[in-house]
Structure 1
C-alpha cells in the first residue's frame, strides 16, 4: 500500500492543499466502541495500515480541533488528512483495548509504579475509557468526577470569585480576539474576500476598546489620580453593549469561513458574558474610584448570571489557569480508579511520532486536561487524594516514564 504524497502551499501560519490526489482512505469503523473482543487475526491484518498511517501522519498533531504541523507549528486545513487522523486514532484505540496490549501495560505499570494496589486493574481496559473527550464545561468535568449537586454549587461559587475578576474577563476577550486576528490576517493577505478585511477591522476596534479601559483602570498608571469631570461629554460615554454589537458583527461576517469556525464558536460562547453586562458603562470621564465601581459591577453581574453549566464561565476558567481560551481535547478520556482515600485519574493521547517535540506537546496537553479535573476535585472538596497519570501511545516507541510538574506520564509503544 503506497503512501499518499501531498503538495502543500504555505500561507503565513497555514498549509493549504493545492493538489487533488485521491485520499488514502481506510475503513474508519470505530473498532474501539465494539463490545466484542477483536480477534488476533484482526490485529495482524490491520497493523500494516496503522504503520502506514503513522508514516503518513508523522509530525502531524491534532490539538483543539485543528491539525498542526509540529515542526513549523502551522495549521493544516485538509479534510483527507483529518479523516486519516480519525481512522488512525480509532485503530489505535482498538489496539489499546486488546488483551495482549493490556497485559503488557499491566507489566509496565507494575515495573514503574511500586504501590499499585489493584493488581487486576489496568487503564483503558473498558471501551468507555477509550472514548475521546473535549473538556469544555464544568458540568462535563463534574459528571466525570461524580460531583454532587451540593458540591457543584460550591465549585461554582469558588470559581466565580476567581475568574470573573475584571482583568481575567478582559484578558479572555483579548485572547479570543487575538486568535481571530492571526487567522484573519492570513486570509486577508491571500485576498480571499472582503469579509476577512471587515473582520480584521472589527477585531482591531474591539482590541482598542479593551486596551483603553485597561490603561485607564490600571493603578500603576497616572490615570488613578484623575478626578471626575464636572462636565460630562456623552460622546465619550460607552457601554459594554458596544463590544457586544461588534462581536455580533464579527460573528456574522466570519460565520461562513471554515478556517474561522473555532474562533466563531468561542466568540459565540463569550457573547453570553457580554449579554449580561451590556448595560454597564465604560466612561472615560469618571475618576479612578468610579472606574473601579464599574469594574465591580462587571464582576458582580458575571458572578450572578454565569451558571455552573456555562461554557463562558469555563472559558474564563481556562484563561485563569492557562492563559488560553481553547477547549482541551484528549484522545482517551480514561477514568478514576482507587479506594480508601487514594485515587488516580488517568487520561490518554495518541501520537503519530515519539519525537521529543511531539511527546512534549502530548505531555502539556494532558497536563492541562488533568489539571482542570484536579482543580474541580479540590474546589468541590472531594474526599481523598487524587493523583494524576497521563498515557501516550505511539507505534514503535520505547516504553518509558516521564515526570512533569509532579505528575507521571507513560509513553507506550504499539507493536505486535
Structure 2
C-alpha cells in the first residue's frame, strides 16, 4: 500500500466533496509499511467519527432504527402525507397471520441468542419465551410452574382439569390476548437485568404496544370459520386504528411483512433534493464494514437492500392515491411489486447503496435488481 498525504474517502451522492482526515504516522520507505507504527487509537476514533458524521452526504447522516418517522424525514414526506403512509401500511401489516408470525419471530430470535450466550440470568427469559411460543402455536398446554419462584405468574400454572360426565373430553376454555400480554410483561422484566439481551428487551416492549390494543380479543381455534374470521378482522381493525405512524410495533410488523424478519435495520442514510420545489429525492444508504471479507460484503449488501426496500415502500405509500395501489396481493407483497424509481406527480425517487470497508475490493454488486457500490477505505 502506498502512503498518501491524508486519509481520504470520497462521499458519494452528496455535493461531490471529499472527506479528509489528518494523516497518521508515515514511514520513509514503502517496503517498511508492515513495520511502521500504527496510528494512535485517538486518531482512529476521530477519523471514524468524522467518517460517520459525513458519510453519504456532507449534510445529513442518520440511522434507521424502529421509527417510520426517520424514514419519512429522509424522504421529505410531509405531515399530511404521513397520515396516508399510516392508512396505507396498517391494513396490510396488521393482518392476523402477520401479527402472530411477528410475535413468534421476536421470541424465536430471543431464544436463539439466549442459547448462544448461555447466561444463567436468562434462564427464566427462555422459559417464558418458550411458554409463549407454545401458547401462540396452540400445540401444548400451559407451561410448567417455574421451579425458581414460589409464586409463578398465573399463565404459567397448569389449568385444572374438570372431569366431565360425557365420554368426550371437555373443550379447552377460551383464551384472550391478555395472557400473551402478561407473558410479555414478565418477559420484559426478566430481560431488563441482562445487558446482552437489551435489543430483545426493546423489541418485546415494542410488541407490547400492540398487545395492549387487542388484549380483550378472544383466541380460539376450535370454532367455526366465520367466527374465526371475525376474530381475525377484529385484531386487524383494532391494530390498524390504534398503531400510530411512528409506532415501533408498526415498524416491526412492516419489516416482517416485507422480509419475514423483525430485527431493525442499522444503516446510515443521507439525502439530497433536486428539481422544482425539491420534489426529487436521492437517498443514499451506507454501511461501514470492519471486516472486508466477501461474506461481510454480502451481508452489507443484503442489509442495504432491506433498507432501500423500506424507503421505496414508504415512498410509494406516501404517494399512492388513497392507498388503492398498495393493498396486499395474494403473495402478501403488494407494495413491493415495483422496482427502480418511484415516479409520479410528487417527484422522482432515486436509491443508492454504498459499502465502505477496509481491505475490500472496489466494485459494483447487483442484488435483486439493484446496483450497490463497494468502496475501499485507504489508510495512509
The answer to whether structure 1 residue 202 and structure 2 residue 144 are counterparts is: no
Selected match of 1:252 from 181, 189, 198: 189
The answer to whether structure 1 residue 296 and structure 2 residue 233 are counterparts is: yes
CA distance in 1, matches of 2:47, 2:68: 30
Structure 2 equivalent of residue 335 of structure 1: 271
Structure 2 equivalent of residue 124 of structure 1: 56
The answer to whether structure 1 residue 212 and structure 2 residue 149 are counterparts is: no
CA distance in 1, matches of 2:135, 2:26: 55
CA distance in 2, matches of 1:125, 1:279: 48
1:348–1:391 CA contact under 8 A, matched in 2: yes
Structure 1 equivalent of residue 327 of structure 2: none
- How many Å apart are 1:373 and its aligned residue? 0.9
The answer to whether structure 1 residue 349 and structure 2 residue 275 are counterparts is: no
SS at match of 1:345: strand
Structure 1 equivalent of residue 373 of structure 2: 410
1:166–1:295 CA contact under 8 A, matched in 2: yes
1:350–1:392 CA contact under 8 A, matched in 2: yes
Q: Structure 2: any 5+ residue segments left out of the alignment?
A: 1-10, 12-16, 28-32, 140-167, 320-343
- How many Å apart are 1:235 and its aligned residue? 5.5
TM-score of the aligned structures, taking structure 2 as reference length: 0.70
Structure 2 equivalent of residue 390 of structure 1: 353
- How many Å apart are 1:288 and its aligned residue? 2.2
Q: Deviations over 1:62-111 (max 9, x none)?
A: xxxxxxxxxxxxxxxxxxx9x999777425447xx5xxxxxxxxxxxxxx
CA distance in 1, matches of 2:274, 2:26: 33
Structure 2 equivalent of residue 307 of structure 1: 244
1:137–1:311 CA contact under 8 A, matched in 2: yes
1:272–1:312 CA contact under 8 A, matched in 2: yes
1:135–1:328 CA contact under 8 A, matched in 2: yes
Matches within 5 A, 1:213-232: none
Detail structure 1 runs of 4+ shifted over 6 Å in the superposition: 37-40, 83-88, 231-234
CA distance in 2, matches of 1:362, 1:342: 26
Higher relative contact order (CA 8 A, sep 6+): 2
- How many Å apart are 1:344 and its aligned residue? 2.7
Structure 1 equivalent of residue 339 of structure 2: none
- How many Å apart are 1:342 and its aligned residue? 5.4
- How many Å apart are 1:287 and its aligned residue? 1.9
Structure 1 equivalent of residue 151 of structure 2: none
1:233–1:285 CA contact under 8 A, matched in 2: no
Q: Deviations over 1:365-385 (max 9, x none)?
A: 111111111111111116233
CA distance in 1, matches of 2:57, 2:190: 46
Matches within 5 A, 1:65-214: 89-90=48-49, 92-93=51-52, 124-126=56-58, 128-129=59-60, 131-188=61-118, 192-193=120-121, 196-212=122-138
CA distance in 2, matches of 1:272, 1:324: 19
Residue correspondences, number: 300
**Compared CA separation, residues 84 and 210, structure 1 to 2 (3 A):** farther
CA distance in 2, matches of 1:389, 1:204: 41
Structure 2 equivalent of residue 238 of structure 1: 175
CA distance in 2, matches of 1:47, 1:266: 46
The answer to whether structure 1 residue 43 and structure 2 residue 22 are counterparts is: yes
Over the aligned positions, Cα root-mean-square deviation in angstroms equals: 3.4
